[in-house]
Amino acid sequence: MLKKEWPKHSILAIAIVATWLKTYIVYKTSFSITIDNVLQEFILFINPLSMLLFIYGISLFFKSEKAKNRYLIAVAAITSIVLYGNVAFYRFFNDFITLPVLFQTENFGDLGSSAAASIFWTDLLYFADLAIILLAIKFISTKTGIAASTSVQRKAYYVLALAVLFFNLGLAEAERPQLLTRSFDREMLVKNLGMYNYHLYDIYIQSKSQAQRALADGSELVEANNYVRANQIDPSEDMKGIAEGRNLIVVTLESLQSFTINSEMNGQTITPFLNSLTEDEDTIYFENFYHQTGLGKTSDSEFLLENSLYPLSGGAVFFTHSGNTFNSMAESLSENGYSTNVQHANTKSFWNRDIMYESMNIDKFYDIESFEIGEGEAVNWGMKDIPFHEQSVEHMTEMQQPFYSRLLTLTNHHPFTLDEEDKLIDEYDSNSGTLNRYFQTSRYLDESIKVLFEELKEKGLYENSIIVMYGDHYGISENHNEAMTQYLGEEVTDFTSAELQKVPFFVHIPGYGEGYVDDEVGGQIDMRPTIMNLMGMDTSKDIQFGGDLFSEEHEEFVIFRDGRFVTDEVVYAGNVCYDKETGEPAEQELCAPYIERAFTELEYSESIINGDLLRFYDEEDGQLTTIPDVELEQ
C-alpha cells in the first residue's frame, strides 16, 4: 500500500488543533462559564490558541524528528494535566486553580472522599488530544528532508503567534476593560485570556504579592486606616457588655445555608431545632446575613470571624499568609483573661490550622487527636457531629473559665453522606444527588446542635455562656442550579444565586428574654465587632472592616469576596443591578455608588494582608509603630 506523504509540519498542526478544540470542548462541558453574547463565545473559542502556538511552536527548533515528536507529546500531556486538574478542582470548589492552592498539598489527602466522588473513568477523554497526537506520529509519514525549519519560517510563525495573542488581548480589553488590573474574578480571566494564559498570569500575580510583603514599610497602612476610620460606627450601647465575663462558644455550622431554616422539603422540616431558636426569647436570629468566603471556604469564614478582614481573592489566607501578624478576637479575649481554643475533629494541618492558630494566638487546638472516635461514630470526612459535640462539652468542663471555645462541625460537608441510622428525613428527589443528600445532613447537623445545648445544660455550662452560631459558606454550588430551581420552584438567576449566599447567624444569650428575628443586612465581616461588643470589649482602635450588627449606625452593605454585593435595596451580581425586593433588574445608578467602594474596600483589606501591614500597627494606642512622623486618624 502506498503511504500518502503529508506536509512537513502536519503533526505540529494536528497537535495544535487537537488541543485547541479539546480545550474549547472542555470549557463548554466541564465548567459553567457564563456567555452573554457572540463576541464572548468567540473569545472563549480562540483563547487557547495563542499559548498553544507558542509552546507547541518550540518544536520547530528541534532538529531530530524523534525529539520533536517527544516534545509534542510532553506538551500535550502537560496541558492536559493542567486542564484536567482544573476540571477536578472545579467540581469541588466551583473555581479554577490558583497557585497558592497548589501548595496546599496536605489538604489534598484529606479531600479523599470528595475527590473520589468527583472522578470518573470517562475522564480519560480529557487526554484525547494526547491520543490523537500519538496516533498521528504512528500513522502519518511526513515529507522527509530537512527536519528543522528555517529561521525565516520560525520568525513568521512567531509573528503569527504574537498577532493571535494581541488579537485575543484586544478583544478581551474591549469586552472587559481593566481585566488585567482588576483581576479578582478568575472566571473572567479564564473566559477572556484562556486557561493556559491565565495560569501564567496567576504565577505573575502571586510572585508580585510575595514581593509586596518584602517592599511594604507601613506607610500603606495610612490610607487603609483612614478608610476604616471614615466608615467606623459606634457599637450599640444597649447590647454592650451584655455577655461580659461569660464563656463564649462559637459554632461553625458547616455548609449550612439559610434556605434550610424555617422551610420544608417534601413536607419534612429540615432544621427543627434551629427553627425553634428563631422564635426563642433568648435568641436573635439574623435572616439577612451573608457569607463572604472565597477559595479558603471554612478557613476563610474563621478568618473573617477572628479578624474582620476579607479573605483573599486567590487562595486561602490561612495558607498563604499564616506568618502574618494578626489582631484576632482570640488574642483580645485572651488579654481579657479568657482561655481560648478551637475544637475540630480533623487533622490539625487541614487548612494549615495548626500554624495559623498560633499566629492568631489561640491557646489550644483540640484536633482529631483529642477525640475518641468509637465504632460507628465516623462518617464522610470524619467524626460525626453528635459525638463531637458530646466530647467537646466534656473538654469544656476541664477548661479554665471564662473560655472562648470554637466548635467546627463537619458532617454536613460535601458529598453529604450519612449512615442509615442518622437519616432523620428522606432524601430529596431531584437530579442532583448532592442536593438530595444535603437536606438529610443538614437535618443531622440541626439534631447535633440540639444535643450540644442539652449537653451544655447538663454540664452546668449553659447559663454562664453565650452561644453564637454561623453558617460558613454555601453547601450547594451553582452546579446544582437545575435541582435548586426544582426545589425553590423558581429559576435560579444571578440574583437568586447571590441571595442563596445567605447563611444563618444566631446569637443565643441564655436569660436575655427579648429574642427576635433581625432583618438587618449583614455579613461575616460583622461578626467580630458584634461579638466583641457583647463581650464588653472596645474595638474602636482595631483595624476591622465590619461593624456591630446591633448598632443603629450599622450600614447595610455586604461585599462578597468576588465583588458582588448586597444592600437593603439592591443586589449586584453578574454586572447587573437587581432590586432586592423583586429580583428584577433595576437602574444601574442604584448600584453605581457601591461598585467602586466594594472594589476599594476589598483592595484595602487585601493590601493589609499582602503587605503584612498589621506588623506595623499598635492596637493599644492606634498608632503606626515604625513611622513616628505619621499621625493616624482616630
Judged by DSSP in three states, 89 sits in helix
Of the pair 89, 557, the CB lying nearest ligand GP9 is at: 89
Whole-number Å distance between alpha carbons of 505 and 499: 15
302 binds Mn ion (CB under 5 A): no
How many other C-beta atoms are found inside a 10 Å radius of the C-beta of residue 525?
A: 24
Helix 433-458 vs helix 481-488: angle between axes, to the nearest 10 degrees? 70
CA atoms within 13 A on the CB side of 322: 22
Q: Residues 237-266: x/- map of binding to Mn ion (CB under 5 A)?
A: -----------------x------------
The answer to whether 253 and 471 are in contact (CB under 8 A) is yes
Backbone dihedral angles phi then psi of residue 618, each to the nearest 5 degrees: -110, 105
* Interaction of residue 551 with Mn ion, rule CB under 5 A: no
Residues in the chain: 634
In the complex, the smallest distance separating the C-beta of residue 350 from ligand GP9, rounded to whole angstroms, is 4
221 binds, among Mn ion, ligand GP9, none (CB under 5 to 8 A by kind): none
Per DSSP, the chain holds a count of helices (H) and strands (E) of: 23, 22
**List of residues contacting ligand GP9 (CB under 6 A):** 297-298, 346, 350, 408, 410, 413
CA distance linking residue 444 with residue 447, whole number of Å: 5
From ligand GP9, Mn ion, none, interface partner of 22 (C-beta below 5 to 8 A by class): none
Distance CA 520, CA 287 (A): 8
Amino acid at 74: A
Cα separation, 292 vs 220, whole angstroms: 24
CB of 365 to Mn ion, least distance (A): 17
**Which residue's Cβ lies closest to Mn ion?**
298
Closest residue to ligand GP9 in the complex (CB) = 297
Shortest Cβ distance from residue 524 to Mn ion (Å)?
Answer: 12
- Count other Cβ atoms within 10 Å, centred on residue 452: 25
The amino acid that residue 113 corresponds to is S
Using the minimum distance from each CB to ligand GP9, give the nearer residue, 338 or 474.
Answer: 474
Least separation in angstroms between residue 434's CB and ligand GP9 is: 14
User: In angstroms, what is the minimal distance from the CB of 41 to ligand GP9?
Assistant: 33
Of 297 and 580, nearer to Mn ion (C-beta) is: 297
Provide the grid cell at 108: 489534598
> Binding to Mn ion by residue 298, rule CB under 5 A?
yes
Q: Which does 71 bind (CB under 5 to 8 A by kind): ligand GP9, Mn ion, none?
A: none
CB of 472 to Mn ion, least distance (A): 4
The beta strands (E) that lie in 80-166 are given as 141-142
Per CB under 5 A, which region of 34-42, 439-447, 472-480, 560-568 contacts Mn ion? 472-480
**Largest pairwise CA distance in the chain:** 93
Select 259 or 474, whichever has its Cβ closest to ligand GP9: 474
Q: Which is nearer to Mn ion, 472 or 601 (CB)?
A: 472
Q: Under a CB-based contact definition with an 8 Å cutoff, are residues 384 and 452 in contact?
A: no
Q: Using CA atoms, how far apart are residues 319 and 350, in angstroms rounded to an integer?
A: 10
Minimum gap (Å) between residue 346 Cβ and ligand GP9: 4
Which of 269-277, 289-297, 329-337, 362-370 is the region at the interface with Mn ion (rule: CB under 5 A)? 289-297
CA–CA separation, 601 and 184 (whole Å): 13
Q: Which of 98, 260, 271, 298 is catalytic?
A: 298
298 flagged as catalytic: yes
Identify what 331 binds: ligand GP9, Mn ion, none; CB under 5 to 8 Å per kind.
none
First to last CA, the chain: 88
Burial 410-434 (b: 16+ CB within 10 A, else e): bbbbbbbbbeeebeebebbebebbb
H helix or E strand, kind and range, residue 466:
strand 465-471
- Residue 346, contacted partner among ligand GP9, Mn ion, none, CB below 5-8 A by kind: ligand GP9
Q: Looking at beta carbons only, is 176 or 297 nearer to ligand GP9?
A: 297
Q: What sign has the CA pseudo-torsion 385, 472, 382, 478?
A: positive
User: Which partner in ligand GP9, Mn ion, none is near 520 (CB below 5 to 8 A by kind)?
Assistant: none
Q: Which of residues 308-337 bind Mn ion (CB under 5 A)?
A: none
| Residues in a beta bridge with 522 | 289
Say if CB 556 and CB 544 are below 8 A apart: no
Q: In the complex, what is the shortest distance from the CB of residue 297 to ligand GP9, in angstroms, rounded to a whole number?
A: 3
Nearest-approach distance from CB 298 to Mn ion, in angstroms = 3
Strands 557-559 and 570-573: unpaired
The reply to whether 472 sits near Mn ion by the rule CB under 5 A is yes
Q: How far apart are CA 536 and CA 453, in angstroms?
A: 24
Burial class (CB in 10 A: 0-12, 13-18, 19+), 118: middle
Of 236 and 298, CB closest to ligand GP9: 298
**Binding site partner of 341, from Mn ion, ligand GP9, none, Cβ cut-off 5-8 A by kind:** none
Instruction: Answer with the entry of Mn ion, ligand GP9, none that 350 interacts with (C-beta below 5 to 8 A by kind).
Output: ligand GP9
Q: How far apart are CA 410 and CA 412, in angstroms?
A: 6
Give the interface size with Mn ion as a residue count (CB under 5 A).
4
Closer of 110 and 282 to ligand GP9 (Cβ): 110
- Asked if omega into 415 is within 30° of 0 (cis), the reply is yes
Cβ proximity to ligand GP9, 240 vs 297, nearer residue: 297
Residue 133 interaction partner, one of Mn ion, ligand GP9, none, beta carbon < 5-8 Å per kind: none
Nearer to ligand GP9 (CB atom), residue 246 or residue 297: 297
Q: What's the min distance (Å) between Cβ of 514 and ligand GP9?
A: 33
Site residues (vs Mn ion, CB under 5 A): 254, 297-298, 472
Question: What residues are labeled active site?
Answer: 298
